[in-house]
Amino acid sequence: MSALNLDDFAPLIERPDSAARRDAEERRARLTVRPGALGRLDELGGWLAAVQQQVPVRPLAQPRVLLFAGDHGVAELGVSARPAGGTKDLVRAVLDGVSPAAVLARGAGAPVRVVDMAVDCDPAELPEEVTRHRVRRGSGRIDIEDALTPEEAEAAFRAGMTIADEEADAGTDLVVLGDLSVGGTTAASTLIAALCGTDASVVTGRGGAGIDDLAWMRKCAAIRDALRRARPVLGDQLALLATCGGADLTAMTGFLLQSAVRRTPVILDGVVSAACALVAQRVAFRAPDWWVAGQASGEPAQGKALDRIALNPLLDHGVTAGEGTGALLALPLVRAAAALSAELPVRD
């Protein structure tokens, strides 16, 4: 297997088709609906035309919800309202169709794919198609040790790339990206603080499950300690993911970059996907043109990451459930933009 060189991504990722975007804007000016009446739906329609390289836009026929799952050793410090090692229960709820994401995906007619990268359970407890890319059982405790070995980080990154290729080859025309994790927001906030050069207290939020003040202080301290370990490797994005990310975040970063190579658009969910997007932007500056941010989660780290990569969330409903729910709530909006762009009549 050839060595993984992240510098190879930059020349492989092109911007979405600017000519198609201009054609979409010209067509929009000829619609019977007055300019500006559709608000951000017009912007989304232009983005879809650019990523599809087509005017009128094709309706979205094969969206897919993709959830990367993993436990994080830092959860042992009590930084989450959920118990350490509890990701298996989140995965099982999705597979059983009883999680918020599963309900929303079912209503949207979007199949859900769960990818176990580092869930802390016996792999026999979950279906083989879920566990086949697993790198390890739980990621390391990032305040005192690396989340992954270099070999594990490369394996996780390559797994994300493989999944991006599988989805592109299967005809997936939009990915709704989320995570299932306990402790994942702590790792994500560390990555964002490191890349934005901010202090731990600036990025520490309450997490998707909500935490009290004592847990917030523990989380802030864990991020501060992890930041000390992250700063020496800021110039090497794969090493940064190995130091303070985790197998799920590393795989998501590989997925985002390879999806941009394959011209597959992605809706980002919360702070975890935003952190991976920020790392991916450091690898290839054109990659964010292939993504939209589904919703503002209220996590301060997410706001910093999205501001840095110039993505404005489509929604802000105060939803903090995570697990892809925010991105799923934005899916009907993106579908509506595609339908309006494709079906509204133009003036003669």
**Active site amino acids:** 323
DSSP 74: G
Give the three-class secondary structure for 17: coil
- Quickly list DSSP for 153-211: HHHHHHHHHHHHHHHHHTT--EEEEEEEEESHHHHHHHHHHHHHT--HHHH---TTT--
Question: Closest Cα to residue 90, out of 324, 343, 335?
Answer: 324
| Residue 277 to residues 116, 237, 258, 310, Cα–Cα distance (Å) | 19, 12, 12, 11
- Residue 267 one-letter amino acid: I
Q: Rounded to an integer, what distance in angstroms lies between the CA atom of residue 134 and that of residue 281?
A: 25
- Residue 249 one-letter amino acid: L
Q: Rounded to an integer, what distance in angstroms lies between the CA atom of residue 2 and that of residue 181?
A: 31
